[in-house]
Structure 1
Amino acid sequence: MISLDDAKAQLRVDFNDDDASIERYIAAAAAHLRRIGVDVDADPPSEDIDVAMLLLVGHFYGNREATTIGVSVEITPLGLDRLIAPHREHGI
């Protein structure tokens, strides 16, 4: 699981004003990955899952609104699916 400091380093945020929002984005990223069958609490932690979480946190932080006008919008950051694919639980 990534820390607030890890997320802030990824986001290049060196102030504390957005800490509560970033912590919510970390929790949301973890919850999303859990819902799709990824064990974000694996021991030892997986580096690619941590990177996937950082990508999601960056996406949530950079795209705070549900609607964006005048730009191309992607659903998830590039590479996210590839990072988590080996860690997803697949059912029949």
Structure 2
Amino acid sequence: MITLEEAKAHCRVTPEETEFDGEIQIALDAAVDHLRSINVDVAADPFPPALKQAVLMLVAHFFENKEAVTPEKVWFTPIGVDRLIAPYRGVSL
């Protein structure tokens, strides 16, 4: 799985900048929870690189875009996430 330190590095937050730890941890938990909710197996060990990248992309997206919609823009999840997780999704019938 991804550590807080890895998520901070991906968001370009230094280890010394602890004021964002809670926010980044929430984003990390939300990213993993989101993948679980769409039937992606996040319990794999070792964790596949594509899933790791998808989680990190979601963390960065959540960290940078605090709201889903603003008067100026509508934010969507990064397009690459769908392609990265596709091989790991369970089939729903």
Q: TM-score, length-normalised on structure 2?
A: 0.91
Establish whether residue 38 from structure 1 lines up as the match of residue 40 from structure 2.
yes
Alignment correspondent of 2:6: 6
Matches within 5 A, 1:1-92: 1-14=1-14, 15-71=17-73, 73-92=74-93
Q: Cα deviation per residue 1:52-71 (whole Å; 9 max; x = unaligned)?
A: 00010011000112321223
RMSD: 1.1
How many residue pairs match? The answer is 91
Separation in structure 2 between the aligned mates of residue 33 and residue 74 of structure 1, nearest angstrom:
18
Other structure's SS at 1:2 match? coil
- Percentage of pairs with the same residue: 47
Q: Distance in 2 between matches of 1:89 and 1:67?
A: 30
CA offset digits 1:27-71 (Å, max 9, x no partner): 100000000000112112111001000010011000112321223
Secondary structure of 1:55 counterpart:
helix
Structure 1 residue 91 displacement after superposition? 2.0
Matched position secondary structure for 1:79? helix
Q: Distance in 2 between matches of 1:61 and 1:69?
A: 19
| Cα distance in 1 for residues equivalent to 2:24 and 2:75 | 20
Partner of 1:34: helix, strand, or coil? helix
Give 4+ residue runs of structure 1 displaced > 4 Å after superposition: none
Unaligned runs of 5+ in 2: none
CA contact (8 A) 2:68 2:75 kept: no
